Structure 1
């Protein structure tokens, strides 16, 4: 039988979100119902509310989540009821050309639950990133559930579901940061700070955090940045070069998603260095670079989707590092809130007052 739960819904562009009753169907083939324990408030959820992703309102928001599998549908063998899981928004298909070539982290046919969750009047909901976890329970594809050690704090573990994984993966998976590298991270919000942490995990010798907010730079330093640059006060390209012997960083991670900061990243890297774009641009943004510079500087210009992660590989590994005290996921949790605190959390996030607010149920 279907069941009814509370969830945070955005009904129209720019309107405040509200708590509504959500109808969760029984899981069908390949699906799972998960009881949510915690879900981070990510900027992507605000993008949904503002119509910046698409206009498929109403949205059931929330996607950085951890919880316990309650029930599964026919044919599910990845997880079973009682498993503690982190939800992901890229359940790999195993059949596309990327998967068949042994590169499932690039899967071109990721999927979500086939059934729709609805409001009580039958209105179909669009779950944020195919998850919809600002709710007591949600319906997902079973492949969106990654089993991890239940000793982990749900509030911390859930953040691997999006922003923290995106940043760590941008450094380790996409940027291939390794021992002794110099790294610059432009933009020190949640994703940028996670890139700092990922660079430190990978053994980078020098990690330069760049932002316009001294509070964010202080946080980046506490998480492992060896140097900070306030780009309101200094040209970030010159500053990064000055800190790297005049050459530029081996890897520059752009975690803002704007043409201006991308150009800074491009020119702040060493010859044959790597630029990683993990910040999400908006559709109208355009980038113009001299093609001769693109050719002459060599190296690689990469985009990082979800940190090029493979959840089944990366989530358990990172949770193990967390439980060993080698990865401080708790540092990303600025506050815990109830379901009815999401709208206020959006305002605090927009002002830069928090790294992550986390809904705890």
Structure 2
């Protein structure tokens, strides 16, 4: 990412194993994430891209190993450190990879990475069963939140976005109601849907410069919970803290899911058919079209949700 919103492929030195417990990983299929856009857009001072950034949701093969967890040729889901996954091959700790389940198609198995981050976040909340939940943002993460909340027994799953094409997908992923925030008053609609009580839980799944944290504060009920999932800027101005303070509500952030519990559980959900992730997979493009892939994803063109990128094999 050599300039804002510009990607090019360059030659770099081959990486090799340097210590015990490492793998040399060769990506085969990756998908773009909203946090990759922090580097792609180039105007976040805290996320200035370096060579190798930014990809981090990927599956591929172990080429070589100095550990005991895998053997050469194993297919795994791998999450590089700090998004340094934009390489033909790269060195990484074997602890940052899990086996790829052979039962689902590979594009569905890949979605275990974002789904694992969602399951980790949901574990921080009180029991979901019979709760009214609002999910602000219906990009890939918001859609997967709807699906996970359905599995966990939420009563109302209220999907909120400004794009109709995304809200049309939400009921397929588990939403019981949808709200277009540009045309409807979200406070009035959530009050109507919940019978006046407002949401027990509100999930912020937008993040970045477009974060909707103040909307979360307005939609949560007294004593409720807000899960701030979307990656925020380093500093956020004009946060209405008194609103959430007076509601005696709790705020949870979420980062750093477990490779021993969360990602494997997400893989099981997908492999066992407990969740259908197919509606969020909208595009699949070759590596030599990586610029177009980022443009489509970043501009939310062509009803894009998850945009996948095939590496040469």
Runs (4+) of structure 1 moved beyond 4 Å? none
Deviations 1:254-274 (Å, cap 9, x if unpaired)?
Answer: 111258721111121121110
Question: Is 1:144 the counterpart of 2:96 in the alignment?
Answer: yes
Shift of 1:39: 0.3
Shift of 1:18: 1.4
CA RMSD of aligned residues (A): 2.1
TM-score normalised by structure 1 residue count: 0.78
Deviations 1:297-326 (Å, cap 9, x if unpaired)?
Answer: 1231111225xx212212222222212222
Which residue of the partner structure matches residue 48 of structure 2? 55
Shift of 1:15: 5.3
Shift of 1:185: 0.2
Which residue of the partner structure matches residue 269 of structure 1? 220
Shift of 1:331: 2.5
Deviations 1:3-62 (Å, cap 9, x if unpaired)?
Answer: xxxxxxx2x231521122333322121321112121002232232133324335334431
Which residue of the partner structure matches residue 157 of structure 1? 109
Which residue of the partner structure matches residue 64 of structure 1? 57
Cα distance, 1:165–1:297 mapped onto 2, change above 3 Å:
same
CA distance in 2, matches of 1:198, 1:169: 11
CA distance in 1, matches of 2:172, 2:13: 43
Q: Is the 8 A contact 2:36 2:83 kept in 1?
A: no
Cα distance, 1:295–1:130 mapped onto 2, change above 3 Å:
closer
The correspondence for 1:86, drawn from 68, 77, 82, is 77
CA distance in 2, matches of 1:222, 1:320: 20
The correspondence for 2:160, drawn from 206, 210, 213, is 210
Deviations 1:275-315 (Å, cap 9, x if unpaired)?
Answer: 01111222353143253x43331231111225xx2122122
Q: Is the 8 A contact 2:225 2:252 kept in 1?
A: yes
Q: Is the 8 A contact 2:223 2:250 kept in 1?
A: yes
The correspondence for 2:250, drawn from 275, 283, 300, is 300
Map 1:188-267 to 2 at 5 A. 188-257=138-207, 261-267=212-218
Question: Matched residue of 1:253: which SS?
Answer: strand
Where does structure 1 lack aligned partners over 5 or more consecutive residues?
1-9, 90-111, 113-128
The correspondence for 1:280, drawn from 200, 222, 231, is 231
Q: Is the 8 A contact 1:37 1:154 kept in 2?
A: no
